[in-house]
Amino acid sequence: MKKYISILKRTKLFAGIREEEIASMLNCLNASVKNYSKKEYVFRQGEYIRDFLLLAEGRLMIQKEDYWGNLSILNEICVGEMFGEAYAAPDSGAILNDVIAAEDSTVLFLDIEKILSLCPSACPYHTRLVKALFYTISEKNRKFVQKLGLMSQRTTREKLLSYLSDEAKKQNSSSFIISFNRQQMADFLSVDRSAMSHELCKMRDEGMLDFHKNEFTLFEE
Amino acid sequence: MKKYISILKRTKLFAGIREEEIASMLNCLNASVKNYSKKEYVFRQGEYIRDFLLLAEGRLMIQKEDYWGNLSILNEICVGEMFGEAYAAPDSGAILNDVIAAEDSTVLFLDIEKILSLCPSACPYHTRLVKALFYTISEKNRKFVQKLGLMSQRTTREKLLSYLSDEAKKQNSSSFIISFNRQQMADFLSVDRSAMSHELCKMRDEGMLDFHKNEFTLFEE
DNA sequence: AAAAGTCGGTTGTATTTACAACAGAAAAGA
DNA sequence: TCTTTTCTGTTGTAAATACAACCGACTTTT
């Protein structure tokens, strides 16, 4: 467990908390570790979450597959990010999506019940943790709104432009690398891969952007 | 202000708190009231939120209009629901959407700073309030995930089926009334109104559902 | 090194959607 | 009541998208 503390120190949840404190908090939250290999499921749609998770290594996808096999990627979870904190509330029901490892991953499980209710005095950092949790879930909330803005774009081109300019902004450069391959990117934007590929090339021909493999560059108009 | 306390008592945020306590909390949170007439803006995209709001009367729409005049409705806020709680976090940036009154509305503004930081001892219910706020934002989070699931449907028909069956589930009946008109419904689902109208009629002709004005009935297959 | 599998681009066709325009019904306003 | 506006369904056409299928480049596996 100790090897993960240096990673945890850099997460938003445990930011500014000393290593010894983190160790005692992990204990208090019943932390356990589990490894997943690529393509393995962490949660499945319809399951009830008892723990929330914090990603120590690798990458996860929040995704959904419908009756007809259409895949949609809702979100990706990168190192240091969490999932399942929205299920701390009572009566929060089953989860609506699958959580699957996009790469070999190491996941910390923390007891979701304890984080809000236990030891308000025993853990001096507990209040701080709750606040950090609140901020994290707020941030995720705002990101969902942003993704909803993306998804409400009508055309493939508009979705691409929204997505790519969001990525450029996030990585603070007009040249950036994305972690999706084309199929995943299409699933993330909820469009057809070939149509998206077509549109990307058209935009390149029009001089709006350039790309090689997963590296994209956006040009000013 | 007093006339709204009976409404507040029924909100999730103040559930189970005595009226006198609510009054003192409102005071502590710098509550103020404002009225909006139909179509009036409450917030505009790009503004920074200093207060979060709680709707006492009427109905609000969270929406977005792009360069080309395309309107998208992200969410509706009904009586007793809140908006802006995700902006309690520092560095949460400007809001991404417009908030507009769909009907004549009465809005309570509460100080967003104080809710997390002030008077942990002075207000005995403060902890409870923070917890309720956390649950609310969690619930909203889960609703966003649901809406993202809706928006990731590829066809108008799939979106309609998702939306209508969600509504049926929410209202706990295969017959239900929606608050959107056709144009708003189309904006909510991010589809073309006439195409949606066309698809609705086709589904009715196929015997999947029936509707008169805003009342819909879904049939078993 | 050979074989198998993945990935990204391309093409053609059938289907779906967007857009504009219109008309009757209903609702709102004078 | 009469007028005006809003709402909903309908139609036709142009445009965009989905789907399937194929190929060459590249990776991974054996």
Task: Give the 3-state secondary structure of residue A83.
Answer: strand
Distance of A194 CA from D22 C1′ (whole Å): 13
- Pinpoint the residues of chain A covered by CATH 2.60.120.10: 2-150
* CATH architecture type of domain B153-218: Orthogonal Bundle (1.10)
pLDDT digits (tens, 9 = 90+) for A119-177: 555 566 777 788 888 899 999 999 999 999 999 999 999 999 999 999 998 899 999 99
User: What is the rounded distance in angstroms from the CA atom of residue A203 to the CA atom of residue A211?
Assistant: 10
| pLDDT value for A121 | 53
CB pair distance less than 8 Å for A141 and B137: yes
Please name the CATH architecture into which domain B2-150 falls: Sandwich (2.60)
pLDDT band at B18 (very low <50, low <70, confident <90, very high): confident
pLDDT for B54 equals 94
In whole angstroms, D19 C1' to B48 CA is: 45
Q: What is the DSSP string of B13-78?
A: SSTT--HHHHHHHHHHTT-EEEEE-TT-EEE-TTPPPSEEEEEEES-EEEEEE-TT--EEEEEEE-
The CA–CA distances, whole Å, from A192 to A78, A182, B98 equal 25, 10, 30
A-B CB pairs within 8 A amount to 113
CA angle A61, A64, A70 (to 5 degrees): 120
Residues of chain A with CATH 1.10.10.10: 153-218
**B157 contact residues in A (CB cutoff 8 A):** none
Q: Do A89 and B190 touch (CB under 8 A)?
A: no
Q: CB distance B145–A96 less than 8 Å?
A: yes
pTM of the predicted structure, to 2 decimals: 0.92
Alpha-carbon gap: A138 to the closest alpha carbon of chain B (Å)? 4
What is the per-residue pLDDT across B39-94, written as a single tens digit (0 to 9) for each? 899 999 999 998 999 999 999 999 988 766 678 999 999 999 999 999 988 889 99
Q: Minimal Cα–Cα distance from B112 to chain A, Å?
A: 13
